[in-house]
Structure 1
Amino acid sequence: MHPMLKPALRRAWRGRNTVQFGVTPAHAVTLGPVDIATGSFLELLDGTRGLPLLREEARTLDLSDRHVDVLVRRLAEAGLLDDPRAAGPQADVLRHRAEVMERQRPDVASLSVVHPGPGEGLRRMAARRAMRVQVRGAGRVGASIAAVLSGSGVGQVEVLDGGRAEPGDVAPAGLPAAAVGERRDTAARRLVRRAAAGPAPRSTGAERGAGDGQPGLSLIVVAPRDGLSVYAPVPDTAAPWIASGTPHLYAGVIEATGVVGPLVLPGGTGCAGCLELHRADRDSQWPRMLAQWRSGRRGVVAACDLGLATAVAGLAAAHALSFLDGELPASTGARWEAALPLLDWRSERIGPHADCSCGAAEHAEGEGASGSVPAQDTMAG
């Protein structure tokens, strides 16, 4: 091990013998008591020395080997240490690609803060590069999500959409103005390639799906240009994803209202069918109105503010990445909404419905009141 204090966490002395690592409450840690010699020793933890050399240099500061070992262990347990030589063979390949590492150094630093184990930041970045995500929609929201996921290190990002790009699809984080008139899927593929830090790694046999040699889908992001399909998604559309156990996340904008979620874990959380049934329970006229809205647009113009669309895309991409990195973000089984002009984000739990065929309600009954959701094989951790 070559211990290194995580460079992403700023250091400051809280007093004469206490050091604080980090600024924000979510990740800040205090360490004490720390004397002057130990404070000087902390400066040696830069990843260039192994433990034998650190013990040797610590002796010149009148610090015992035991003191060094205990301090290193405490720092590691507090999530303050990284190891630039750890993380496994996939990370080794990534580490030797200087141009990729320079682009994604801030992302790796962020992962190192969120996932405290030494080498975890680089390991999870390497895991992202082996994943395959599908984004359904190449409008202001969908194309931007695809670009962010690609730029964040996801190895394969597919974008599905039909028709040709229109001026209203253009967004600074998404399709460029030059794409107007071009097939949306073609323009989106080019956007994804341009956003990537480097070419995707080749898949191993163990990672490939049984059919086409592609890695299995880790996640589907449903971000259609028609915001109604996010606010009130059609259950039949999601039926194949429920059947195959593919996690999927909804995101979009409808009538100046941004929507992120739910993230559906098939068999574990409420799905599109549960959402529709719950709404019908609260409003008996909902199915009647929904049928009218779905039957024809009658010249409806999408009220999709560019700033709101960009915010939704960023939040949705962050939730997707959190899931891919092995966590369960706040959109899991929940939907977040914010409407202009106040933009006050609020969440609504989407629980399993007893009458839905997805089976999540039966699972919830089996789990009792724990509220747990099943682990997904597609996660990094």
Structure 2
Amino acid sequence: MHPRVKPALRRGWRDLNTVQFGMAPAHAMVLGPMDTATGSLLNLLDGTRGLPLLRDEARGMGLPDGHVDGLVERLAGAGLLDDATGGGPAVDALREKHKVMDRLRPDLASLSLVARGPGDAPRRLAARRSLRVQVRGAGRVGTVIAATLAGAGVGHVDVRDGGCVEPWDVAPGGLPVESIGERRDEAARRAVHRAAPDRPPRRGGAKSTEEEQPGLSLVVVAPRDGLAVHAPDPAVSEPLIDSGTPHLYAGVVEGTGIVGPLVLPGDTACAGCLDLGRTDRDPTWPRLVAQWRSGRTRDVQACDLALSAAVAGLAAGHALAFLDGETPTSTGARWEVSVPGFHWHAEPVWQHPACTCAAAERAKGEHTSDDERPHETMSGQQPHAARLSGTWRAHV
């Protein structure tokens, strides 16, 4: 082990005996008491020395035997320590790609803030390279999501869409102006390729042409038609439910951005639950949806760049959190934001007992009083709309 104090957190002395790691409250931590000699030893925990050399250095500083091991154990327990050589063969292979690691260094630093154990952050980063994500939609939102996921190290990002690129599909970080007139899916895949820091590792076996083939870690549904994310058709998501494929909705409708729900089939609310719940609250809902779906408009939909960028960024962040093994707050909830105020808020999407996805049956009796709050803003903690009965992880 080559111990390294996580460099993502800036360090400062609050007083002569107390050290603060980090500035922002979300991840900052205070440790004490700590004498000045131990504080000097912290500077040596930079990943260039193994434990035997650190013990020798500590003796030269007049520190007693066992002091280094105790400090390392204490820092590791607080989630403040990394291992510059740990992580396993996949991490070693990634470290050898110096240019790739330079591209991903900010992402690795960010992962170190949430992956507590030494070596956990590079392991998560290396695991992303084997994940397979499909983005359905190559507009201002979908292409940016796909490019962001690829740029963050997700190895296999495919984009599905039809038609050709229109001038209004162009967006910074997404489809370039040079792609106007080209096939949307091909242009989006080139954008993904440009964003990726590395070629994806080869996968064994024959390549299937089925959209719900085994091995999909996540499907991001980001349609160019805002109606398809505002009121997603349950029939369209049935293959995803049947195959057990996690999927996340994201898009813009009439100046409102939507991220969620993240659907974990059989555990959390799906598009069918959303549709049935709305019908319970508003009996005219099915009539309205039928009219909206049958009345196709040829007008360009409202989707300004700032809003689409905000939606794409939040959706990509929630997707990455899920792929890394976390449970983002879009699980069983929809985050919404509208122009011009850009005030994010979340609405829970409950499992419906009449839905064929059967999520309500599994979640029965698992809601708590905290879950009954109607919504929380981005400044508060959003409760998950469902208590997961199992542990969901992205498929490697």
Q: Name the TM-score class by shorter chain.
A: over 0.9
Structure 2 CA distance for aligned equivalents of residues 144 and 210 of structure 1: 24
Aligned to 2:11: 11
Q: Are positions 1:304 and 2:320 aligned together? A: no
Give the drift of 1:373: 4.2
Give the aligned partner of residue 30 of structure 1.
Answer: 30
Q: CA deviation at 1:367?
A: 5.0
Gaps of 5+ in 2: 369-385
Q: Per-residue deviation at 1:202?
A: 1.7
Q: C-alpha distance in 2, partners of 1:109/1:230?
A: 33
Tell me, yes or no, if structure 1 residue 46 matches structure 2 residue 46.
yes
- Within-5 A mapping of 1:1-381: 1-203=1-203, 216-365=215-364, 367=366, 371-378=387-394
Q: Please, which runs of 5 or more residues in structure 1 have no aligned partner?
A: none
Distance, in Å, in 2 between the alignment partners of 1:209 and 1:371 is 34
Letter in 2 for 1:247: P
CA distance in 2 between counterparts of 1:45 and 1:88 reads 21
Q: Structure 2 counterpart of 1:60, which letter?
A: G
Equivalent-residue separation in structure 1 for 2:93 and 2:342 (angstroms) = 43
Distance across 1 between alignment mates of 2:285 and 2:367? 31
SS in 2 for 1:26: coil
Query: Which shows bigger deviation, 300-309 or 252-261?
Result: 300-309
How far off its partner does 1:6 sit?
0.6
Secondary structure of the structure 2 residue equivalent to 1:331: coil
CA distance in 1, matches of 2:231, 2:209: 33
Normalised TM-score (structure 1): 0.96
- Matched residue of 1:217: which SS? coil
Distance 1:215 1:272 in 2: 21
Report which stretch shifted further, 61-70 or 101-110.
61-70
Quote the offset at 1:377 in angstroms: 4.6
Q: Which amino acid aligns with 1:113?
A: L
AA in 2 matched with 1:143: T
**DSSP 3-state at the match of 1:13:** strand
Tell me the CA shift for residue 61 of structure 1. 1.3
Contact 1:167 1:180 in 2 (8 A): yes
Distance apart, 1:379 and its partner CA: 5.1
Q: Which moved more, 1:364-373 or 1:339-348?
A: 364-373
Paired residues of 1:260 and 1:315 also in contact (CA < 8 A) = yes
Q: Secondary structure at the match of 1:186?
A: helix
Deviation at 1:47, TM superposition (A): 0.7
Deviates more, 1:295-304 or 1:120-129: 295-304
SS in structure 2 of the partner of residue 221 of structure 1: strand
Q: Which amino acid aligns with 1:278?
A: G
> Are the counterparts in 1 of residues 216 and 395 from structure 2 also a CA contact under 8 Å?
no
TM-score (norm 2): 0.92
Deviations 1:279-336 (A, max 9, x none): 1111111110110000122334301111100110011000000000000001001000
Counterpart secondary structure, 1:65: coil
Distance 1:32 1:8 in 2: 20
Q: Is the 8 A contact 1:131 1:215 kept in 2?
A: no
Q: Is the 8 A contact 2:335 2:347 kept in 1?
A: yes
Offset of 1:169 from its aligned partner? 0.2
Note if contact 1:323-1:379 (Cα within 8 Å) is conserved in structure 2. no
Letter in 2 for 1:105: R
2: distance between equivalents of 1:232 and 1:6?
44
1:198 offset after TM fit, Å?
0.9
1-side partners of 2:78 and 2:343: how far apart?
34
For residues 310 and 141 of structure 1, what CA distance do their matches in structure 2 show? 7
- Alpha-carbon distance, 1:121 to partner: 1.2
Secondary structure at the residue paired with 1:246? coil
In the TM superposition, what is the alpha-carbon distance from 1:71 to its structure 2 partner? 1.1
- After alignment, is 316-325 or 364-373 more displaced? 364-373
The 3 A distance-change label for structure 1 pair 109 and 371 is same
- Do the aligned partners of 1:208 and 1:216 also contact (CA within 8 Å) in 2? no
Q: Secondary structure at the match of 2:15?
A: coil
Does the 8 A contact of 2:322 with 2:394 survive in 1? Answer: no
CA contact (8 A) 1:326 1:379 kept: no
Report the residue type matching 2:388 in the other structure.
S
Deviations 1:83-138 (A, max 9, x none): 11001111111000011001000001100111111111111010000000000000
Aligned-partner Cα distance in 2 for 1:225–1:239? 20
Partners of 2:49 and 2:353 lie apart in 1 by 58
Question: What RMSD over aligned residues (CA atoms) do the two structures have, in Å?
Answer: 1.9
- Contact 1:209–1:216 at 8 Å: present in 2 too? no
**Deviation of residue 366 (structure 1)?**
6.8
Deviations 1:155-206 (A, max 9, x none): 000000000000010001100000000000110111111000010112257x
Residues in 2 aligned to 1:209 and 1:2: alpha-carbon distance in whole angstroms: 43
SS at match of 2:217: strand
Rounded to whole Å, the distance in 2 between the matches of 1:338 and 1:96 is: 42
1:151–1:28 CA distance, 2 compared to 1 (3 A): same
Question: Quick one: structure 1 residues 217 and 200, their matched pair in 2 at CA, closer, same or farther if it must change by over 3 Å?
Answer: same
Aligned partners of 2:325 and 2:393 also within 8 Å? no
For 1:326 and 1:123, locate their aligned partners in 2 and report how far apart those are by CA, in whole Å.
12
Distance 1:36 1:208, change over 3 A: farther
Which residue identity does 1:13 align to in structure 2?
W
Q: Distance in 2 between matches of 1:359 and 1:175?
A: 39
